[in-house]
Amino acid sequence: MRIEDGVAKLEDLCIKVFASRRDTRIPSVFWIWKSIDSQERESYDMLGICYDNRPRLKCILMPESWMDSPYEKSVQEAVDTLLDNGIRGQSMRDGHNKIYKSFSDVIEGKEGRFHETLLGKRVDYSRRSVIVVGPSISSNRC
């Protein structure tokens, strides 16, 4: 934690805290700034940020039984659903129980350069060997 120098008024005080992605524990400023209570609770509740030396840190928006943070999303899962809905088993649905259309659903059965290059080149695996570009070979030599 770092406090900027040269602050004329206390209202202009800026505190920057850097947290790693693996360990989201950061020091609490509750002891020097009592009105931060609701902001720290909200960030704990919604983003999963834990505060060291923080008294009575409880969820205020989500139930205590909630395991994950609501805003903590899996990017890979979202991208997989966008490219091919149903790739993870059950298809994603909206609030009206309608299945989301993915890119592969939209271009299914279509031919042409757009279809071939959007989701990757089609490869015929019935042959004995498949040529794949290696890290030391440039793509124009393949």
The structural domains of the chain, with segments of one domain joined by +, span: 2-52, 73-142
Largest Cα separation within the chain, whole Å, is 74
The answer to whether residue 40 scores a pLDDT higher than 80 is yes
Residue 50: pLDDT band (50, 70, 90) is confident
Q: How many CB atoms lie within 10 A of CB 40?
A: 19
Q: What is the pLDDT of residue 124?
A: 54
| Whole-prediction pTM | 0.39
Percent residues over pLDDT 70 in the chain: 50
The answer to whether residue 112 scores a pLDDT higher than 80 is no
The answer to whether residue 52 scores a pLDDT higher than 80 is yes
On whether the CB atoms of residues 59 and 66 are closer than 8 A, the answer is yes
Q: Give the tokens for residue 102.
A: 């993915």
Q: What is the pLDDT of residue 69?
A: 59
Q: How many CB atoms lie within 10 A of CB 62?
A: 14
The answer to whether residue 97 scores a pLDDT higher than 80 is yes
Residues 129, 123: Cα–Cα separation, whole Å: 11
The answer to whether residue 116 scores a pLDDT higher than 60 is no
Percent residues over pLDDT 90 in the chain: 0
For 56-84, how does the pLDDT look when each residue is reduced to its tens digit (9 = 90+)? 777 777 666 666 655 555 555 676 677 77
Residues 84, 8: Cα–Cα separation, whole Å: 55
Nearest residue to 28 via CA among 7, 10, 45, 50: 50
The answer to whether residue 1 scores a pLDDT higher than 60 is no
Q: Which long-range contacts (CB under 8 A, 24 or more apart) does 78-83 make?
A: 83/119
Residues 46, 60: Cα–Cα separation, whole Å: 9
